[in-house]
Amino acid sequence: MEKTPRVLITGASGFVGRELRSRLQARGTAVTAAVRFHSFGLVAGERTPGLEFEVVGDIGSDTDWTNALKGVDVVVHLAAQMGVMRGATANPMAVFREVNTQGTARLARMAAASGVTRLIFLSSVKVNGEMTESAPFSEDSQPSPQDFYAVSKWEAEQALHAVAGNTDLEFVVLRPPLVYGPGVRANFLRLLQWVDRGIPLPLAAVKNRRSLIYLGNLIDALITCIDHPAAANKTYLVSDGEDVPTPELICRMATALGKAPRLWPCPDFLLRTVGALTGKASEVDRLIGSLQVDGSRFCRELEWMPPFGMDEGLRQTVNWYRDIPR
């Protein structure tokens, strides 16, 4: 009988990590969940057969992964430094590099030394850039990271190449666009709240195209990468396969909420001007700019199709949203 691999998940208490470990357990896969603090592993009902919690502390260039890697065959590396509070450090790039770049390199080296066969790294489409113009990003697009987070992720990808080139460790890199689903926060949740409250939004004239990926689709893609032979030492872009203008996304959110969308037109240049004056230029760019991902190579080479359509993903997200304590 073929051995079922034990999988180590970093960032196991996060938005993607919680769902991944749940799905893997449901499949009968043994999981080690790496967490920063002991309390993360003491949630009621989470001490189930096949699930182990391992405290690793902060992730960086000197993290000791020895215990977490015992008996592990595959690592899914989700943990990342997503942001730095304004004014918290004089050198934010150093913070991102310590966690995302050096932390990933350290994990990869120790995984290789421990006999791990494959490391799956959740990167970001931001490695490719912030916006697309004439064509979607693909695996052949020239990387163009624009902020500290994206630069550190791109450097981490290069570190994985270096480790794999000198060891038997295989890597798989996934670069998703915005991930939405139950538990989503930040800008997507804020937009959902605006639509739910019936706030009029000046986005009716926006003609952009945005790629997204539903959490359930990303989890399925990650699981596919665990043992698919074609994925070895590859970098892939993944998405729902539906690129939608922001006004359409809002209308589909409204449908899932059972509400009427409230949109009115405003010229892009005026929206950008307001964004610049209010310090919200990047948020406006995400609403009116295009960012498209061509995920066809992943679908073709790994014989994969997103199991959930966008409307189903939005419906599941809204179901979760309605249960949030108000």
Query: The domain that contains 124 carries what CATH number?
Result: 3.40.50.720
Residue 166 lies inside a defined structural domain of this protein: yes
| Structure confidence by residue, pLDDT tens digits, 167-193 | 999 999 999 999 999 999 989 999 999
Residue 56 lies inside a defined structural domain of this protein: yes
Neighbouring C-beta atoms of residue 286, cutoff 10 Å: 19
Residue 306 lies inside a defined structural domain of this protein: no
**Catalytic, out of 149, 180, 214, 236:** 149
Task: Print the domain residue range for 157.
Answer: 7-175
Residue 165 lies inside a defined structural domain of this protein: yes
What contacts 304, CB < 8 A, 6 or more positions away? 220, 221, 224, 298
Residue 110 lies inside a defined structural domain of this protein: yes
Q: Pick the range with the lowest mean pLDDT from 79-88, 124-133, 274-283, 303-312.
A: 79-88
**Side chain identity at residue 19, one-letter code:** E
pLDDT of res. 193 = 96
**Would the pLDDT of 277 be above 50?**
yes
- Cβ-in-10-Å burial (0-12, 13-18, 19+) of 44 comes to exposed
Residue 287 lies inside a defined structural domain of this protein: no
pTM recorded for the entire structure: 0.94
| Structure confidence by residue, pLDDT tens digits, 57-108 | 999 999 999 999 999 999 999 999 887 667 667 788 999 999 999 999 999 9
Is 149 one of the catalytic residues? yes
Residue 51 lies inside a defined structural domain of this protein: yes
Residue 202 lies inside a defined structural domain of this protein: no
> What is the number of structural domains in the chain?
1
User: CA 230 from chain center: how many Å?
Assistant: 21
